[in-house]
Structures are given as structure tokens and as C-alpha cells.
Chain A
Amino acid sequence: MSAPSEVRTAAPRGGRTRSKSWLATVPLLAFVVLIFGVPLVIILGGTFKREGAFSAANITESVQGAYLTAMIGSVKLSALVAVVGALLGTFLAQAVVTSRFRMLREAVLTASGVLSNFGGIPLAFAWIATLGNSGVITSALGLDSVGWSLYNFWGLALVYLYFSVPLMVVVVVPALDGLRPQWREAAQNNGANTWQYWRHVGIPVLTPTLLGGVVLLFGGAFAAYATAAAMVGGTVPLVTLQIANALSGNVLIGHENVALALSLDMIIVAGLVMAVYLPLQRRSARWLR
């Protein structure tokens, strides 16, 4: 019976189990490399290949003309949605957090969790039924006679906010909960008014969370495809729509790899944005514990 002593000595560092246990991570890592890594490598390789030869033509084409317009359109839309969504989401979260009604808080938090996942095709159709050309509200208020249209840049922003604001609420409520009442009391005892408290205590503590939320919202709006495809088709220039277009074969012969170049552009933008997010999240965890 040497088993117990063996386990005891093995416990702190794993010992004998370690030699075998790395095998358990192999399937996951192999899967990710094969299913996720290979397409990424193909994107990278295909971007720099035209008609069988190494070439930078795809990448230059992807940052010119209509493709450039689409990229700018996507970034503008995502930035607008991210900033407005973060502001509105924070105000809504603050209103809920400071409310005395527990039920209200629970209801808003649950609804936010659900609505932040509400995207894609159903979201587009819900808004088309509401404010589209023959939507319920459009006809009830006679908006079509004043030139209202949902199928443009601003309409998309309005619809994207529908999942962005709840996402911001979900992100920022824990941070608002983490603002300790003692900090406010301490500030007040030192003679600070509300504005000064927020200016010097509240906002600085919340900043990493708020910026992190902006980044998250940007990423969500930037990657969104289904909602835009169902709502505006091709009338609003967006990079996701251009990629889908190019993938469906709507490009010049021999220019098929432009879709891959556009994808690479998108990954670079999304990667830069995410690179900002991760350190921020670590910083926000420092105060709010």
C-alpha cells in the first residue's frame, strides 16, 4: 500500500500525473490549430496571391475605392454605436443600480442579458416590422410622408444600439456596484460636491471598465453581418457586406482573393481594438474587488 504516500508527494506539483495529463489538452489544441488556424493561414496566404503568383495587389485593392469606403463606413458606424451605446448603457445602469426597487434591478439585468444576445436576422425583422417602410409605427405616425427611412446609416445605428446598450449595462453594472459608498462618504467629508466626487473618484475608477465596454461594443458592431444584410442589403457600405459580396462571386475574374484581403484588414482592425481591451480589463479588476 504505497499509494497514499505517493499521492501526497505528488500532490503539490502533480508529479506522476503531469507526464500523462498534458495529453488531455492535445485534442483541444489540435482542433483549434486545424479548424481555426488553417483558415487563418489560408487568409494570410491568399491575400498575397493573385493568379498563382505572390502579389500585394489584393491588399492594395482592398484599401481603395469602394472597399475603402466600406471599411470607413464600418468603422464609423461601429465607433458611433460604441460611444453612444456606452454612454446610454452607463446612464441606464446607474439609474437601475441606484434604484430602490430590487425587482426593477433584477428585471433590467435579466432583460439586458437576453437582449445583448439578440442579434442577427430576428432583430432586423423586428425593426423592419416596427419602423420599416410598412412598419407598424411608420404607418401609425405617418413617418413615410416626412421621408423617414430605416434602411440607411442612421437606421442601422438605431438598430445596433438595441443589442449594444444592454451589453453595456451588463458590462458596467458590476463596476458601478463596486463603487464603495465609503469612497463617496470620504469625499463628502472632505467637502467634495457630487460633481467633484465623480470627477476625481467615480470616473477614474470606472474608466477602464467604460473604455473596455466601448471596445466590446465596437467589436460587436464591427463584426455584425446578419442584421445589416437583412436590413440594408448593399445600400450602406459596410466591410462585412463587401466580404459577403466578394465571397458570392461578385468580383472581377481573378480578383477573388480580395475577399481574403478584406478579411485580413478586418482582423487587423479587430485585433488592434481587442489589444486595447485586454490590459484595460486587467486594470479595472484592480480597484473593483
Chain B
Amino acid sequence: MAALTPEGPMAPLTPPAMTVADGPTAPTGQGRRRRIRVWRGVILAIAAVYFLVPLLASFMFTVKAPEQDFSLDAYGQIFTTEGFGQSLLLSIGLGVATIVVVLLLTLPAMLAVRLSMPKLKPVLEVVCTLPLVVPPITFVAGINTVLQFGPDYLASTPFYQTIFAIQDENFPVVLVLAYVILALPFVYRALDAGLGAIDVRTLVEAARNLGASWPHLIFRVIVPNLRSSLASASFLTLALVLGEFTIASLLHFQTFPVWIYTISGSQAQVSVAVSVFSLLITWLLLLALSSAGARQRSGS
């Protein structure tokens, strides 16, 4: 939900403006400036306490139980607790499948709209943004009803078996389908920003004039030029799938977050340790993402 940052206003900004923002206030005097500096310090200090204390406290919680010495056992136990590997692999598998499906669906559609149907762009934008309006819990209420009563209506059709096939516990395709919908808004924004930054039409015409086929054009010309926004779309999708709890838990699939929740009853320390661990994974993913973005910017 959270990553819907305003790509809109962000793009046309003039970055150099910000460092000067408090520069020209000099005429009003030293006192005011010092007051501002004090206020800034107070705000930053409060923010630092609020945001850092839970992280540090969680770590403390995992390494030191009451009446016991410092130990990292909780982190070791993560790997031996039953279901860890299975649920993590399931979540990663779902993430990869979601990324593949969502990119295969959005990239051709967005390219086609940009190249030859610019009038359809608002439609595509609305379609891809709609999932933001529907909270995941309501979405799963709808899916659950379809899965429950679908078989009754489809009994005489070939789709009957499909309803059961997509609920296979080892690889629930239904979750991939749902996650593709949840990821659409973020993937759309990332790809739209990427496509806006390159001159797609010129690239396409140049490649076609030189005799490139459409698949060749897409994989050898478009994809390399969109590398950073494809990476950003993929990372956001992966982070979303690795953290998604609502849909998986209400459809009773044991994904990674559901597993964390399940073990919390019996092993509080381990569940907090996994939480810290999964936060670290997200940090690394998003840091890789932002540094990849920075490299791209300095490269071009």
C-alpha cells in the first residue's frame, strides 16, 4: 500500500532549489536562525528516538531473555524451526512468478498504448490504479466467495477442475493471480516513469527500419533501456509478496508472513528475530533498488 509515492510531482522538480531554501533568510537576524536550528534539532531527535527505539528494542528482545545472558540463539533457531525453509521458498517462488506475470502483462500493453493508442493511456492508468482503492481484505472476501461457490456454478464446465488446481497447497496459483493485481499500481508507475524517460518511438522506428523483429526489438532494445525501472518494479513486487499477510492467511496458505504469525504463539523470541531478519531483507532489497537507480542516473 505504502509505496504509492507521487511520481507525478516528483518528476518535473528542480532539485537544486532545496539547499538554498533557508539561505536567503539572513536579513531577519541571528536569533531567528538559532531558534530554527534548535527546533530542527528537537524534531530530528524525537524522530530518531521514535524510529530507532523499536528496532533496537526488538534486537534486544531477541538476544536477551529475562534472567538469561546475551545470546544469538534465537537467530540460529530460525533456521531449525519447522516450516521456515518451506514457507520462505514458497513466498520467494510466488514473488518470482508474480514478477514474471505482471511484467508480461503490463510491458506489452504499455508499449502498445504509448506507441499507437495514446488516447487509451488514461484508461490504462485508471485500470492499473484501481486496485489501490480496494483494500486487500475486501479483495480476499470476493476471491474467497468465488472459490467457495465457483465450483457449484462451473460444475458442468471444464473450469471446474481449474478452481481446485489453482488452490494447490504446494504452489497456490490463486495467490499469484491476486498478487499481480496488488502489484499493478506500483509496476505501472515504475514502468510509466521509465518509458517516459526514453524516446520509445525513435527507438522502435530505428530498430524496425534496421529490420529487427518485434521480439528482438523488445528484448534487445526496449528491455535494456528500461533496466532500472524494470528492476524497481520487480523489487517492489518482491517486497510486496514477501510481506503480504492478509490474502494468504485468509485463504489458509502458509507463506512466510503467515508462518511468522503461526510460530509467534509458541516462540515469541524467534518470531521477533524473524521480523528483524525480514526487515533487514527488505532494507537490502530497497537499498539495492535505490543505489541501482542512482547508478542509472549518473550513467546516463
Q: Show the binding face of A for B, using Cβ within 8 Å.
A: 3-4, 7, 11, 13-14, 17-18, 21-25, 27-29, 31-32, 35-36, 38-40, 42-43, 46, 88, 91-92, 95-100, 102, 104-105, 110-111, 113-123, 125-131, 134-137, 139, 161-163, 165-167, 170-171, 174-181, 184-185, 188, 193-194, 209, 212, 216, 219-220, 222-226, 229-230, 240, 243-244, 247-248, 259-260, 262-264, 266-267, 270-271, 274, 281-282, 284-285, 288-289
Contact = CB atoms under 8 A, between A and B. Distances in A.
Contact of A95 (B43, B62, B142): B43
Contacts of A163: 2
20 contacts: A25-B120, A29-B127, A39-B141, A42-B142, A91-B43, A99-B40, A120-B257, A121-B260, A125-B58, A130-B53, A131-B57, A162-B51, A170-B5, A219-B132, A220-B1, A223-B136, A224-B1, A240-B137, A263-B137, A285-B8
Contacts of A263: 137-138, 141-142
B141 A125 contact: no
A247 B205 CA distance: 53
Contact of B1 (A18, A46, A219, A264): A219
Contacts of B275: 121-123, 125-126, 129
B137 A225 contact: yes
A185 B24 contact: yes
Contact of B6 (A35, A36, A181, A281): A281
B141 A247 contact: yes
A126 B276 contact: yes
A184 B278 CA distance: 44
A194 to B, nearest CB: 7
A178 B12 CA distance: 9
A244 B2 contact: no
Interface stretch (B78-86, B102-110, B223-231): B102-110
A260 B8 contact: no
Given A22-B112, A99-B40, A266-B135, A113 B9 contact: no
A223 B137 CA distance: 7
Contacts of A184: 21, 24-25
B115 interface: yes
Interface stretch (B89-97, B192-200, B237-245): B237-245
Given A88-B47, A121-B260, A130-B53, 7 more contacts: A11-B205, A25-B120, A92-B43, A226-B249, A229-B245, A260-B142, A264-B138
